[in-house]
Amino acid sequence: AGRPHLRALNRISLTQRLTLMFVLAASSVLLGLGFVVAASVEQHFEDLDMEVLSGKMELTRQALLRVHSQQGLTEFTHQLAYSLVGHHGMEVMVIDADEAVIFATGHAGFDPALVIRQATQASNQPALWQLDAQTYRGLAARFPTAIADAAGQPLRVYVAVAADIGHHQAYMQSFLQTLWLFVAGAALLTGMLGWVAVHRGLAPLRAMRRQAQGVTAQQLSQRLPVNTIPRELAELAQSLNEMLARLEEAFQRLTEFSSDIAHELRTPVSNLLTQTQVTLSRARGADDYRQILESNAEEFERMARMISDMLLLAKSDHGLALLQRQELSLADEVRALFDYFDALAEEKNVTLRLLGDGTVSADRLMLRRALGNLLSNALRHADPASTVTVRVQMLERGVEISVANQGEPIAPEHLLRVFDRFFRVDPARQRSSEGTGLGLAITQSIVQAHGGRISAASNEGVTTFTMSLPDQLGSEHVAARVV
């Protein structure tokens, strides 16, 4: 049942909500203050009435104590009548023990039974009595006289003193009407002023909205102002700016990646197209066609490797790379890779050396691919007659594997990008000999999928790539960074 109300509330703008809250808060405060003042005034009127009524009641009690006979009681009623001259709205009634009215002012037509009951049950306690269209606040009590009854006990009479409070009620009614009118006017004024205040207060939000509307794929460099808006909104603007920076960086990387993909695929496609067109330009022998098909097959293999590598990177970016972990001896894995690269190392007159040993919980195929990429990269850039060293070192919470080669150093500005996709330190090199340019990016993705990190360093002619892998999944991960 409450859902339609919630939907209706959600359609109300923030300005309207805050304005409504201001109106409700101000009206509640004014109403509360008004009721407190009204109660205070009412109590003040009651205190004034009680002061007068108590005085008359005490005067009556003292006078009754000096009544010694029935004649004196008659004289008492005359004196009481004289004492009430000029007290407009004051009514007095005296009733004997037989519930007979001994004395009553002109308008004191109260029910004797009511007066006796009030005097018996709540003596000297104020009560409201209704008589015709008038309301009275009265006191009732039972007082002794100096007259002795048949049993020798003091004769007691009932005395009621009441004051007309009609003028008090008229004042309170007028006061409450004025209060309601004032609250209504104040609520209206508060709503207007609140709307203006909220509208101006939310101006930075509207400015942020206008600037956010201008953010497009082609204009991700825009940022929201932080120093010119309130502190509460500055935190939101800062968070949005950081989000825009991340989006801009991701979009830039995606744009560059798309451009690199197009550039990388354009070369083999262009080669295939050129060779095919040349082949079809005239009739050729079977050996020529075989040679061209073999060349085309190499280009197709290169494209297939590139597509496979890009699929692996896409899965790693989205956490879809599934690991088949097992305990591996790193020395055994490295020796197996040495056997695979032995021919290439012998061709370049490079020595492969392994130092240390250790175990790690990892996916065998993915770990071999990461290490193979590092070894391939090291052999490709190693100086002739030099040594490529693989060092394995056990750490407190994992293992560290480094691959170092002697050769031309990598410039510091290039070290920051060696793990970028399709990045090559020397773009002028033959692409056919440089692979797809995704090897180090894939290595980084594999290391990160294992919860590790990889870094690169190049000093004094020695380039070192270092992988740090935790002992198991869930170990303390260190964010991947490039040194």
**What pLDDT does residue 319 have?**
60
Domain boundary among 123, 153, 173: 173
Which pair of structure tokens corresponds to residue 394? 């056990």
| Domain-located, residue 7 | no
Mark whether 48 and 168 lie in a shared domain: yes
**What pLDDT does residue 388 have?**
94
Asked if 159 and 140 count as a contact pair (C-beta separation under 8 A), the reply is yes
Domain boundary among 287, 314, 341: 314
Strands 398-406 and 462-470: what pairing?
Answer: antiparallel
Q: Which domain holds residue 441?
A: 322-470
| Domain-located, residue 331 | yes
| Domain-located, residue 86 | yes
Mark whether 25 and 154 lie in a shared domain: yes
**What pLDDT does residue 471 have?**
75
Count the domains in the chain.
Answer: 3
| Domain-located, residue 219 | no
The enclosing H or E element of 131 equals strand 127-131
Mark whether 70 and 37 lie in a shared domain: yes
> d(Cα 259, Cα 428) in Å, to the nearest integer?
18
> d(Cα 158, Cα 301) in Å, to the nearest integer?
123
Q: What are phi and psi of 100, to 5 degrees?
A: -95, 135
Cα 243 to its chain centre, rounded Å, is 16
Q: Pick from 382, 364, 360, 399: which is nearest to 464 by CA?
A: 382
| Domain-located, residue 36 | yes
Asked if 468 and 453 count as a contact pair (C-beta separation under 8 A), the reply is yes
CATH number, domain at 413? 3.30.565.10
CATH number, domain at 266? 1.10.287.130
DSSP 8-state class, residue 73: H
**What pLDDT does residue 10 have?**
58
> Which residues does 449 contact at the CB level (< 8 Å), separation at least 6?
316, 321, 323, 366
Mark whether 302 and 329 lie in a shared domain: no
| Domain-located, residue 207 | no
**What pLDDT does residue 65 have?**
80
**What pLDDT does residue 354 have?**
93
Which pair of structure tokens corresponds to residue 420? 């970028």
**What pLDDT does residue 465 have?**
93
Task: Please say whether the dihedral angle defined by the alpha carbons of residues 100, 102, 106 and 110, taken in this order, is positive or negative.
Answer: negative
**What pLDDT does residue 411 have?**
84
Which pair of structure tokens corresponds to residue 99? 């519930």
**What pLDDT does residue 118 have?**
87
**What pLDDT does residue 294 have?**
85
Mark whether 271 and 132 lie in a shared domain: no
> Which residues does 335 contact at the CB level (< 8 Å), separation at least 6?
354
Three-state secondary structure call for residue 169: helix
Domain boundary among 296, 314, 332: 314
Mark whether 342 and 361 lie in a shared domain: yes
| Domain-located, residue 296 | yes
**What pLDDT does residue 475 have?**
39
Mark whether 329 and 466 lie in a shared domain: yes
The tens-digit pLDDT sequence of the chain (483 residues) is 455 555 555 567 777 888 888 888 888 888 888 889 888 988 888 888 888 888 888 888 888 888 777 777 777 777 777 677 666 778 888 888 777 888 888 777 888 888 888 888 888 788 888 887 788 888 899 888 888 776 777 888 888 888 888 888 888 889 889 888 988 888 888 888 888 888 887 787 777 777 777 777 677 777 777 777 777 778 888 888 888 888 887 777 777 767 767 766 777 788 788 888 888 888 888 888 888 888 888 878 877 877 776 777 666 665 656 678 889 899 999 999 999 899 889 988 999 999 998 888 888 888 888 898 899 989 988 999 999 999 999 988 889 999 999 988 888 888 877 887 777 665 544 444 455 667 788 888 888 888 889 999 988 889 999 999 987 644 333 333 322
The tokens 């935790």 sit on which residue?
Answer: 470
In DSSP terms, 90 is beta-bridged to 163
Mark whether 272 and 133 lie in a shared domain: no
Q: Pick from 425, 424, 313, 297: which is nearest to 369 by CA?
A: 313
| Domain-located, residue 481 | no
The enclosing H or E element of 387 equals strand 387-395
Mark whether 37 and 155 lie in a shared domain: yes
CATH number, domain at 95? 3.30.450.20
pLDDT digits (tens, 9 = 90+) for 274-331: 888 888 888 888 888 888 888 888 878 877 877 776 777 666 665 656 678 889 899 9
Count the neighbouring beta carbons within 10 Å of the beta carbon of residue 254. 10
Mark whether 301 and 430 lie in a shared domain: no
Strands 359-363 and 134-148: what pairing?
Answer: unpaired
**What pLDDT does residue 7 have?**
57
Which pair of structure tokens corresponds to residue 198? 């909220």
**What pLDDT does residue 463 have?**
92
Mark whether 288 and 376 lie in a shared domain: no
Mark whether 439 and 331 lie in a shared domain: yes
